[in-house]
Amino acid sequence: MTIHATATTSAEAVSVLQSQGYCMLRGAIECKWIDSLKVALSQELDQEPQNVVARSRRGFPVAARNLIDLLPEVRAVWRNERLLSFLQSTLGRQFGLVRVLYFDKPPDRSWGLAWHKDRAIAVKENWRPSLFFSRPTIKAGIPHVIAEDSILLQMVTLRIHLDEVDDENGPLELVPQSHVSSEAAGVGIEKAIRVHANAGDVLAMRPLITHGSGASRPGTCRHRRILHLEFSGAPSLPDGYQWRDFIAASAGIRGDLLG
- Quick one: which of 63, 42, 53 has its CA closest to 111? 63
Q: Is 152 helix (H, G, I), strand (E, B) or coil?
A: helix
Give the residue-averaged pLDDT of 56-64: 77
Inform me whether the pLDDT recorded for 6 exceeds 90.
Answer: no
Question: Going from the N-terminus, what domains does the chain have, and what CATH number goes with each?
Answer: 10-194+210-248 (2.60.120.620)
**Better pLDDT: 69 or 53:** 69
Q: From CA 132, how far away is CA 64, in angstroms rounded?
A: 27
pTM for this one? 0.93
Give the residue-averaged pLDDT of 56-80: 87
Query: Residue 24 phi/psi, 5° resolution?
Result: -95, 125
Give the DSSP per-residue string, 209-251.
Answer: S-EEEPPPPTT------EEEEEEES-SS-STT--BS--EETTS
Give the residue-averaged pLDDT of 15-42: 94
Query: Residue 139 phi/psi, 5° resolution?
Result: -120, 115
Rounded to the nearest integer, the mean pLDDT of the chain is 90
Contacts of 185 (CB under 8 A, 6+ apart): 175, 178, 210
Inform me whether the pLDDT recorded for 56 exceeds 80.
Answer: no
Give the residue-averaged pLDDT of 136-156: 96
Q: How far from each other are the two terminal CA atoms of the chain, in whole angstroms? A: 38
| pLDDT at residue 52, as a whole number | 65
Q: Contact 106/38 with Cβ under 8 angstroms? A: no
The pLDDT tens digits for 157-202 are: 999 999 999 999 999 999 999 999 999 999 999 999 999 999 999 9
Percent of the chain with pLDDT over 90: 71
Q: From CA 97, how far away is CA 224, in angstroms rounded?
A: 23
